[in-house]
Structure 1
Amino acid sequence: MWNVHGRVENANGFFYIRKLNNVRICSAEVRMMNRPHMSSDLVADLIVEGVRDNPLTRPVHVVRDFKFGYGLRVSYHQAWLGVEKAKGEIFGDYLMSFDQLRWYVDVAKSCNPGSYIEFECDDDTKRFKRLFVSFHCSISGFNYCRPLLFLDGTFLKGRFRGNLLVATGKDGNQGFFPVCFAVVGSENQDNWHRNLGLVEVLPKVFPMAVHAYCLYHLKMNLRHHLRGMFYGLKEKLITLFGKCAYAPTEETFHQCLVELKTKDGSRVEKFLDDIPYDHWSNAYFRGQRFGEIWSNVTESFNSWIQEERHLPITKLIDSVRIKLMRKIAKRRELVNKWNGLICPKMVSKLHDGFNTSRPWIVSSFGNDVYEVHSHPSVSVDISRRICSCGELQLKGFPCTHAVGAIQKSGHDLSLFVDQYFYIQSYQESYSFPIYHVPSIWKPDCNVDGDSEVVLPPLSKKQPGRPNKKRIRSNGEKVRQITCSRCGKVGNHNKKSCKEAL
């Protein structure tokens, strides 16, 4: 008996309910929240704007929103299909996006002269192999940044997975500066040539450069190497390892190293055998790291493109281009508001050094050589830019002792700061434009008009720990956890774990 009748009024476009008989005679048992007409197409239509605002929308979010927003129960499969269709409508098809690269690469290079964009696919299988992208603005702007490259890779989250390899620099104000990136089917030595193969390939690509490992990843590897050890001792060893890495002089380094090996000699020595000192310690590093011992700048880039990692490949590349274009424009506006010679963050470091060195007594020995009576006291040679603490040589930036000595000498402090930290260099690094790529030229079919299209790479299952499960008597799946200390499966008390050790 329940029915409703309504119509749209042409005069104002409003929907009017003309008749409503709100009487239900069906029992509660037959009222169901599942609706057979709630297809994935309808789900896609309802969530398309939400997906446009948030490309990271997940099917579980759709199921929850339909439950609380509409009072309807949508299956996970319907929600997943709806999300995929909405993404396809907004960002394009994942499959055809690989073939659209042929069009995009040509147009992007013609619109941005001086850019290096190379796209490769397998001649036999016609499957995607790799794509390398470095825009002209990044290539030319890097000349005014510190000569440091931070290399890392991350997984893509789209339907066909793959890896994103990135090389990032740092500008004069400590901000990350994207230099180039590549999308590859997998992270291997061949792809890094154009960490499995990175260490082997670096001497070939950069024969005159020196390479250092990220301290964060080394600590994570050491923590894994010391698994099963008492937690307090393990963390103490990791802290001592960090002190060795930061030690600016060989004497300080070996003092920390002796203490480190004394605590647990055999396991730590075995770990250190695989990593030469010049690849991780400040004291033995053969180049200049400008105080950089972490590769967290690449993590900043990965966070910067967190949403884009879920997009089809052509949309991914163009979205990174757009973000880079906006970043350049924003930093151009920012630098126009600065005054002075040195970038603000580096000026702040100079002020901190000045405030720290104010209580110290500085004695002159002539020829711009000074002794700073700190704890401990050090000698500073201003003309040669050498401090016995070692930090001035490592960072290319006045340490606290050097700031005190320079102030005593009466010289201009800014003259002892490397050019990379000058506002002028910062301005030059963002002075090169990046241009738009009009999608109006985008063809409706494959570029050459032939029947062959570029296919996606064969996606591989990402490495990870298998999820072991068992079945309860009621049919419910339960995850089983293996103890990392004794290897037993399931819950057990600490006593049995210690006995196993």
Structure 2
Amino acid sequence: MRTNPGSVFGLDMDESSGCFRRLFVAFHGCLYGFQFCRPLLFVDGTFLKGRYKGNLLATTSKDGNQGVFPLAFAIVDAENQDNWMWFLSQLLKAVGSSRRLTFVTDRQHGLLDALSVVFPNAHHAYCLNHLKRNLIEKLVGFRTNYKLSLIKILVKCAYVSTVASFQHYMEKLRRIVGNGRVDSMLDGLQNDKWANAFFKGKRYGEMSSNAAEYYNNWIGGARELPITCMVDMIRVQIMAQLSNRRAESKRWTTKLCPVMEKKLVDSLELAKSCDVIVANDTVLEVHSSISFYVDIDCFRELYKESVYPVLSSERFDFDDAGSSIIKPPITKTQPGLNKKKRIPSKVLRSIRNKLYCMKIYATTNKYTNNQKNNHNNNNKKKSNNNINNNNHFHHNNQKKIIPKMLEFPRLVLIIEELTDDFCLKFDPLSWSK
């Protein structure tokens, strides 16, 4: 706060134990820049991989060049309604209520109710990509081409701008599917949250929450760090991004941001459909929608402020802190063993050493019927005295790959011997168990 005045910093701790509960961070440089972004926010959460686990909640926007602009984030113990309520309340303090915002989410648990309480006047839009995934989950057992055709109809329902067109495609979707589970999913969706024909706010063409998922990948390395190191690493990434984009914008010579300039050039043919009314030889009235937020001057103003360095944890003065030191969060022990620290048994280590130069493929029906018949006929010709020999693979003197096959109940092993330095024994009875 000393090096970044104007930032919003919220800390919540357990009063009885003095342990950490949750933390909210919004730097002044991000809050100032958001004034020059479109009033559109992408909200999402992701899990942490560090010692204390937990979740990271984040909200992002987009600048005039369609770049992801980080606004605020929070570290909480779980992704539930209470934490979403607290996160959005802190966000409301940071951004205020002067602009009517539009939130794009993937309908996380607890977020829907929290948004309607904290931001009652804001518009809420569902991520179309998540709706498509939900539809695919309801179509288990159907062919892939059939699923894709239904997804295309769902996308048309979301993009059409008239109610009549929406009802046409929706009836077509229900008629083709004829599935009660799909009907229940569609009935549970509020049309004004995902369909353009009913949406009352402005989505600026953003039909998915990919910006939030991009942010989660962008900070991927920080998710494995302790809380203080994680916050500092995210701060450094934001600081570098603001500085790089500020320097990049100084080299632009166009009136609009490059991405939007290219879109404008590519849309010249579509502009012929605009309604033009002539007032005189020099004044024309054109009916079309424009956006101030893609102007290059607005973009430069967006990245005008900076996020400044802070003291590292090694330089903190804890001598006078006393009882203000916060203990680590209380976490529940996760079930099962940690995969990263699991020590293999002696038997497993010996098997890995023996299979170092071999490839084992577990498969079914990867050989032709003729090979099956030949294999069965050969087994019938062998006497009972030779059965045990079938379970022992002797090495071959030739230095070449020799595929061999054993058929056990419910399992077929195709083994390629790559060396002749050893031989393995397989017990069919143990495999069948």
SS at 2:136 equivalent = helix
Query: Where do 1:393-404 residues align within 5 Å?
Result: none
Q: CA deviation at 1:421?
A: 0.7
Match of 1:260? 173
Match of 1:189? 81
Q: 1:115 to 1:291 in 2, by over 3 A?
A: same
Q: 1:291 to 1:409 in 2, by over 3 A?
A: farther
Letter in 1 for 2:193: H
- TM-score normalized with structure 2 length: 0.68
User: What percent identity do the matched residue pairs reach?
Assistant: 40
Give the alignment partner of residue 309 of structure 2, picking from 436, 448, 468. 436
Q: CA deviation at 1:311?
A: 0.9
CA deviation profile, 1:260-312 (whole Å, cap 9, x unmatched): 11111333221111111011111111111001001000111111111111111
> Given that residues 125 and 194 in structure 2 are in contact (C-alpha distance below 8 angstroms), is that contact kept between their aligned partners in structure 1?
yes
> Given that residues 276 and 287 in structure 2 are in contact (C-alpha distance below 8 angstroms), is that contact kept between their aligned partners in structure 1?
no
- What is the RMSD computed on CA atoms of the aligned residues? 3.3
Distance 1:339 1:208 in 2: 39
Match of 1:120? 12
Q: 1:382 to 1:176 in 2, by over 3 A?
A: farther
> Given that residues 115 and 135 in structure 1 are in contact (C-alpha distance below 8 angstroms), is that contact kept between their aligned partners in structure 2?
yes
> Given that residues 36 and 301 in structure 2 are in contact (C-alpha distance below 8 angstroms), is that contact kept between their aligned partners in structure 1?
yes
CA deviation profile, 1:212-253 (whole Å, cap 9, x unmatched): 110111111121122233433233222211221121222221
Match of 1:170? 62
Give the alignment partner of residue 239 of structure 1, picking from 152, 162, 182. 152
Matched residues, number = 322
Match of 2:91? none
Q: CA deviation at 1:159?
A: 1.4
Q: 1:225 to 1:127 in 2, by over 3 A?
A: farther
Residue 300 of structure 1 pairs with residue 214 of structure 2: yes
Letter in 2 for 1:221: N
> Given that residues 32 and 305 in structure 2 are in contact (C-alpha distance below 8 angstroms), is that contact kept between their aligned partners in structure 1?
yes
| Structure 1: gaps of 5 or more residues | 1-108, 361-371, 373-379, 384-404, 464-473, 477-489, 493-501
Q: CA deviation at 1:338?
A: 0.9
Q: Structure 1 stretch 140-149 or stretch 232-241: which is displaced more?
A: 232-241
Residue 426 of structure 1 pairs with residue 299 of structure 2: yes
Match of 1:286? 200
SS at 1:299 equivalent = helix
SS at 1:297 equivalent = helix
> Given that residues 80 and 109 in structure 2 are in contact (C-alpha distance below 8 angstroms), is that contact kept between their aligned partners in structure 1?
yes
SS at 1:345 equivalent = helix
Query: Where do 1:348-367 residues align within 5 Å?
Result: 348-355=262-269
Give the alignment partner of residue 236 of structure 2, picking from 313, 322, 345. 322
Distance 1:409 1:255 in 2: 43
CA deviation profile, 1:182-231 (whole Å, cap 9, x unmatched): 00010011111121110001122111111011011111112112223343
Letter in 1 for 2:254: G
Q: 1:440 to 1:269 in 2, by over 3 A?
A: closer
CA deviation profile, 1:58-98 (whole Å, cap 9, x unmatched): xxxxxxxxxxxxxxxxxxxxxxxxxxxxxxxxxxxxxxxxx
CA deviation profile, 1:105-132 (whole Å, cap 9, x unmatched): xxxx121111001111111122221100
Distance 2:117 2:324 in 1: 40
Letter in 2 for 1:314: T
SS at 2:322 equivalent = coil
> Given that residues 53 and 331 in structure 2 are in contact (C-alpha distance below 8 angstroms), is that contact kept between their aligned partners in structure 1?
no
CA deviation profile, 1:349-381 (whole Å, cap 9, x unmatched): 111111456xx6xxxxxxxxxxx4xxxxxxx44
Match of 2:95? none
Distance 2:256 2:119 in 1: 30
Q: 1:244 to 1:264 in 2, by over 3 A?
A: same
Q: 1:333 to 1:267 in 2, by over 3 A?
A: same
Query: Where do 1:334-413 residues align within 5 Å?
Result: 334-355=248-269, 372=273, 380-381=274-275
Match of 1:449? 322
Query: Where do 1:92-241 residues align within 5 Å?
Result: 109-194=1-86, 195-241=108-154
Distance 1:286 1:356 in 2: 24
> Given that residues 163 and 185 in structure 1 are in contact (C-alpha distance below 8 angstroms), is that contact kept between their aligned partners in structure 2?
yes
Distance 2:410 2:10 in 1: 53
Q: Structure 1 stretch 260-269 or stretch 329-338: which is displaced more?
A: 260-269
> Given that residues 128 and 185 in structure 1 are in contact (C-alpha distance below 8 angstroms), is that contact kept between their aligned partners in structure 2?
no
Q: 1:415 to 1:262 in 2, by over 3 A?
A: closer
Letter in 1 for 2:242: I
Match of 2:186? 272
> Given that residues 133 and 181 in structure 1 are in contact (C-alpha distance below 8 angstroms), is that contact kept between their aligned partners in structure 2?
yes
CA deviation profile, 1:309-364 (whole Å, cap 9, x unmatched): 1111101101111111111110111111112321111110111111456xx6xxxx
> Given that residues 112 and 136 in structure 1 are in contact (C-alpha distance below 8 angstroms), is that contact kept between their aligned partners in structure 2?
yes
Distance 1:126 1:287 in 2: 43
SS at 2:242 equivalent = helix
Letter in 1 for 2:182: V
Q: 1:302 to 1:382 in 2, by over 3 A?
A: farther
| Structure 2: gaps of 5 or more residues | 87-107, 337-346, 352-408, 412-433
Letter in 2 for 1:430: Y
Distance 2:324 2:258 in 1: 57
